[in-house]
Amino acid sequence: MSFINIIEKKRDGKKLSREDIRDFITGYVAGEIPDYQVSALLMAIYLNGCDDEETFELTMAMAESGDILDLSSISGIKVDKHSTGGVGDKVTLIAAPVAAACGVPMAKMSGRGLGFTGGTIDKLESIPGLSVSLSRDEFISQVNDIGYALIGQTKDLAPADKLLYALRDVTATVGCIPLIASSIMSKKIAAGSNAIVLEITHGTGAFMRDEESSRDLARIMIEIGKRAGLDMRAVITDMNEPLGHAIGNSLEVVEAIEALKGRIDPDVEEVMRVIIPEMMIAGGKAETREEGWRLAEEAVSSGKALDIFRAMIKAQHGDPGVIDDYTLFPQAPLRSEVCAQRDGYLSVTDCAGIGECVKILGGGRVTKEQDIDLSVGLDMKVKSGDKVSKGDCILEIYAGDSGRAKDAERKFLESIEITDVRPVQNTLIYTLND
């Protein structure tokens, strides 16, 4: 069948066959199908959707467009953890070394940030000298030696996804659940883990803005993973305000290190109490969430989780001295305070707007190739619902120059309100497991 016939089928709301999808993916990766035709098919999918079978076949075709990583030489159940992202999301930085300290091998591949969401790889690169590029043998050897490695996704992993994502980004087809699900799961399947714990964020600081969309995305990703033979678990969390207090690459790593030292913000701990036990259960190290959290607490209080993080930094050529001396991180030359303009209660009205502040400061990117300033960011002194008085410091800005700091301050003030009535707190965290 010619590719134009495939476009016509999906345009008319008909179901694509496995052969249609395979022809589409292999032809595009081989350079045989032009971007304009693929863009037409993406828009047809965006408008007419895909059923579960189509989404699964698209995912597998994308996963098999490149290498499938074989992690069988790593003993134990390999558990991957993926978040759909948000503002101040440093969950992986904390959860992975804790799980590894409890005996769950963490062979983790993560991505870079784009737009208002930060990327785990960018955050790690704020550690002086640390390399997120390891050979396959180095990657596997490190996980066997210390239980934990965290690297960037290789160019040979699901190359079809990279090509399609670039087109989706410029054709207004990013926000399509079948395309989001196949993009995420193709990389996760290709990365070779036995089990995946998904964190689906929703709210004003997430790509999924409402609960229904989050549940739909979680359901289809669980279904894809189960059909691929994986143990799937999903946690849905709220992202209507930044997670924790630090927003920005190096600042979030510092907050993660503090958490591994036992000093953790309450909202971050609330998420960890769900995510980490699911990782423990999937990895065969706990039978209940209560047992999983008890083991996690022991790993932190004993210092073992912090030691694992230190060992990972050293193994990947970073300076482990950052754990005890935060001045070794890139330092922003300018700090400024934002003060409450009236008495009342803080309310975050646009979490994504707060994430945009970091982009304004130069700490986020518009294109994947863009260089970013790893030292800049925000330190929120109060959370939504906290009572403040006029003149109280509610935010500290870390900036490279005063002009950007002022622009970020304006954006921040547009993203919050101070109200007379305490805002209703968002506490939505629940699991959807197989």
The pairing of strands 377-380 and 334-339 is unpaired
Q: How far apart are CA 218 and CA 236, in angstroms?
A: 8
Q: Single out the catalytic residue among 187, 202, 233, 359.
A: 187
Whether 376 and 355 have beta carbons less than 8 Å apart is answered as no
Place of tokens 């409450």: 340
Q: For residue 131, indicate whether it is catalytic.
A: no
Buried residues in 221-240 as b, exposed as e (16+ CB within 10 A): bbbbbebbebbbbbbbbbbb
Q: Single out the catalytic residue among 112, 168, 245, 285.
A: 168
The residues, ordered by sequence, that sit 6+ positions from 48 with a Cβ below 8 Å of its Cβ are 10, 11, 13
Query: Which of 401, 420, 408 lies closest to 358, judged by CA?
Result: 408
Q: For residue 133, indicate whether it is catalytic.
A: no
Q: For residue 202, indicate whether it is catalytic.
A: no
Q: How far apart are CA 428 and CA 241, in angstroms?
A: 12
Q: How far apart are CA 95 and CA 283, in angstroms?
A: 13
Q: Hey, how many other C-beta atoms are within 10 angstroms of the C-beta on 408? A: 28
Q: For residue 317, indicate whether it is catalytic.
A: no
Q: For residue 294, indicate whether it is catalytic.
A: no
Q: Single out the catalytic residue among 82, 162, 188, 359.
A: 82
Place of tokens 């999983």: 292
For residue 141, the cross-strand partners are none
Would you say the C-alpha torsion 351, 356, 362, 363 has a positive or negative sign?
Answer: positive
Q: How far apart are CA 16 and CA 8, in angstroms?
A: 10
Q: Single out the catalytic residue among 23, 80, 89, 161.
A: 161
In terms of C-beta distances under 8 Å and separation of at least 24 residues, what long-range contacts does 295-299 make, across chains too?
A: 295/102, 296/98, 296/99, 296/102, 296/272, 299/98, 299/101, 299/102
Q: How far apart are CA 195 and CA 209, in angstroms?
A: 26
Q: Single out the catalytic residue among 110, 182, 183, 415.
A: 183
Which residues participate in catalysis according to the annotation?
Answer: 82, 161, 168, 183, 187
